[in-house]
Amino acid sequence: MNEKDTTLSRIIHLLDESYKLRVNNLQESVRLANEALLLSEKINNKVYIGKSLNMLSLYNMICGKGSDALSFAEKAIKCFESLEDDRGVADAKYSIAGIHYKTNNYHLGMIYLIDALVIYQKYDDWHNQSRTQKSLGSIYEILGDENNASEAYEIAIETAKKCENKNLESNVYNPMSGILLKKGRPKEALEMINKSIELKLETGDDRGLAFAIYGRGKVYNYNKKYEKAKTDFIKALSIHQKYDEVYGIGMAKHKLAQLYLETGDNERAKTLLKEVIAHSTKYNLSRTKYKASHLLYETYRSENNHKEALKYLESYLIEKDASVNSQTVKVIENYELISNMKYEQQEENLKREKEAIILKKKQAEETAKMRQAFLSAMSHEIRTPLNAVTSIISMLKERADADDQKLLTSLQFSSKNLMRIINDILDFSKLDSDKMELEMHTVNFEELINNIKDTYLGMALEKGIELKVQIDVALSKFYMLDETKLFQILGNLVSNAIKYTNKGSVNINIELVSVKGSNDTISFSVEDTGVGIAKKEQARLFESFYIPTTITTRNNGGTGLGLAIVKKIVELYGSNVVLTSEKGKGSAFQFELILQRAKATVKIDQKRTNQLKNKTAILAEDNEVNALVMGQLLKKWGVKIERVKNGYDAVAIAKKKKVDFILMDIHMPEMNGFDAAKSIRASANENQHTPIYALTADVTAVNNEDYLTYFDGFLWKPLQIDRLFDTLVNSKKPL
Strands annotated E in 529-671: 578-581, 587-597, 616-620, 640-644, 661-665
- Domain final residue, candidates 563, 597, 631: 597
- The confidence score (pLDDT) of residue 255 equals 93
Out of 321-325, 333-337, 392-396, 419-423, the most confident range is 392-396
pLDDT at residue 722 greater than cutoff 90: no
- The confidence score (pLDDT) of residue 336 equals 38
165 in a structural domain: no
pLDDT at residue 695 greater than cutoff 70: yes
| Region for residue 712 given its phi and psi (left: phi exceeds 0; alpha: psi -120 to 50; beta: otherwise) | alpha
Region 394-403: what's the mean pLDDT?
Answer: 69
- The confidence score (pLDDT) of residue 373 equals 57
Q: Which residue has the higher pLDDT, 244 or 374?
A: 244
pLDDT at residue 136 greater than cutoff 90: no
Least-confidence region, from 176-180, 361-365, 641-645, 686-690 = 361-365
Confidence at 225, pLDDT banded by 50, 70, 90: very high
Tell whether 587 and 490 lie within a shared domain: yes
Tell whether 457 and 579 lie within a shared domain: yes
β-strand partners of 480: 442, 596
Distances in Å between the alpha carbon of 602 and those of 221, 337, 481, 636, 733?
47, 47, 16, 17, 17
- The confidence score (pLDDT) of residue 557 equals 45
- The confidence score (pLDDT) of residue 213 equals 95
The backbone torsions φ and ψ at residue 346, rounded to the nearest 5 degrees and listed phi first, read -70, -40
Confidence at 495, pLDDT banded by 50, 70, 90: confident
pLDDT at residue 667 greater than cutoff 60: yes
Q: How far apart are alpha carbons 143 and 127 in whole angstroms? A: 25
- The confidence score (pLDDT) of residue 332 equals 37
Domain of 57? 1-123
pLDDT at residue 597 greater than cutoff 60: yes
Confidence at 512, pLDDT banded by 50, 70, 90: very high
543: Cβ–Cβ under 8 A, 6 or more apart, which residues?
564
Q: What is the CATH number of the domain that holds 53?
A: 1.25.40.10
Name the DSSP letter for residue 543.
S
Confidence at 417, pLDDT banded by 50, 70, 90: low
Tell whether 638 and 685 lie within a shared domain: yes
| Region for residue 517 given its phi and psi (left: phi exceeds 0; alpha: psi -120 to 50; beta: otherwise) | left
Measured over the CA atoms of residue 544, residue 550, residue 551 and residue 552, the dihedral's sign is positive
Q: Is the Cβ–Cβ distance between 526 and 490 less than 8 Å?
A: yes
Region 329-352: what's the mean pLDDT?
Answer: 40
**Average pLDDT, rounded, for the chain:** 81
- The confidence score (pLDDT) of residue 510 equals 96
Q: How far apart are alpha carbons 660 and 572 in whole angstroms? A: 35
Tell whether 542 and 626 lie within a shared domain: no
Q: How far apart are alpha carbons 311 and 291 in whole angstroms? A: 14
pLDDT at residue 697 greater than cutoff 70: no
Q: How far apart are alpha carbons 126 and 156 in whole angstroms? A: 9
Pairing of strands 661-665, 616-620: parallel
Tell whether 692 and 617 lie within a shared domain: yes
80 in a structural domain: yes
- The confidence score (pLDDT) of residue 244 equals 84
pLDDT at residue 286 greater than cutoff 90: no
Tell whether 587 and 459 lie within a shared domain: yes
Confidence at 189, pLDDT banded by 50, 70, 90: very high
Name the DSSP letter for residue 646.
S
- The confidence score (pLDDT) of residue 196 equals 93
Tell whether 451 and 537 lie within a shared domain: yes
Count of Cβ atoms closer than 10 Å to residue 124 Cβ = 10
- The confidence score (pLDDT) of residue 717 equals 67
Distances in Å between the alpha carbon of 596 and those of 440, 442, 480, 601?
10, 9, 5, 14
First-to-final CA distance of the chain: 92
Q: What is the CATH number of the domain that holds 620?
A: 3.40.50.2300
232 in a structural domain: no
Exposed/middle/buried for 341, CB within 10 Å: 0-12, 13-18, 19+?
middle
Measured over the CA atoms of residue 205, residue 150, residue 330 and residue 456, the dihedral's sign is negative
580 in a structural domain: yes
Q: Which residue has the higher pLDDT, 370 or 82?
A: 82
Least-confidence region, from 1-5, 453-457, 563-567 = 1-5
Confidence at 331, pLDDT banded by 50, 70, 90: very low
- The confidence score (pLDDT) of residue 519 equals 94
- The confidence score (pLDDT) of residue 631 equals 82
Q: How far apart are alpha carbons 75 and 86 in whole angstroms? A: 14
Confidence at 52, pLDDT banded by 50, 70, 90: very high
Confidence at 344, pLDDT banded by 50, 70, 90: very low
114 in a structural domain: yes
Query: Which residue in 136, 211, 625 sits closest to 395, CA to CA?
Result: 625
Q: What is the CATH number of the domain that holds 556?
A: 3.30.565.10
Tell whether 570 and 619 lie within a shared domain: no
Q: What is the pLDDT of residues 604-625, one digit of tens each?
A: 554 456 788 889 999 998 877 6
Out of 55-59, 152-156, 327-331, the most confident range is 152-156
636 in a structural domain: yes
- Domain final residue, candidates 105, 123, 141: 123
- The confidence score (pLDDT) of residue 400 equals 72
Tell whether 11 and 102 lie within a shared domain: yes
Tell whether 658 and 557 lie within a shared domain: no
Confidence at 185, pLDDT banded by 50, 70, 90: very high
Q: What is the pLDDT of residues 228-254, one digit of tens each?
A: 999 999 999 999 998 888 889 999 999
User: Angle 353-397/624-636 helices, nearest 10 degrees?
Assistant: 40
Confidence at 439, pLDDT banded by 50, 70, 90: confident
Q: How far apart are alpha carbons 577 and 593 in whole angstroms? A: 10
Name the CA dihedral angle for 281, 286, 289, 290, rounded to a multiple of 10 degrees. 140
- The confidence score (pLDDT) of residue 34 equals 92
Confidence at 566, pLDDT banded by 50, 70, 90: confident
Tell whether 532 and 616 lie within a shared domain: no
The 3-class SS string of 43-108 reads CCCHHHHHHHHHHHHHHHHHCCCHHHHHHHHHHHHHHHHHHCCHHHHHHHHHHHHHHHHHCCCHHH
56 in a structural domain: yes
Name the DSSP letter for residue 530.
S
Q: How far apart are alpha carbons 311 and 553 in whole angstroms? A: 34
Out of 111-120, 402-411, 544-553, the most confident range is 111-120
Q: How far apart are alpha carbons 390 and 659 in whole angstroms? A: 28
Distances in Å between the alpha carbon of 533 and those of 357, 543, 546, 547, 581?
46, 15, 13, 11, 6
The backbone torsions φ and ψ at residue 298, rounded to the nearest 5 degrees and listed phi first, read -65, -40
Confidence at 703, pLDDT banded by 50, 70, 90: low
Exposed/middle/buried for 375, CB within 10 Å: 0-12, 13-18, 19+?
buried
- The confidence score (pLDDT) of residue 330 equals 43
- Domain final residue, candidates 90, 123, 156: 123
Q: Which residue has the higher pLDDT, 359 or 2?
A: 2
Q: How far apart are alpha carbons 444 and 475 in whole angstroms? A: 11
496 in a structural domain: yes
Tell whether 469 and 590 lie within a shared domain: yes
Region 93-100: what's the mean pLDDT?
Answer: 84
Q: Is the Cβ–Cβ distance between 131 and 94 less than 8 Å?
A: yes
Domain tally, the chain: 3
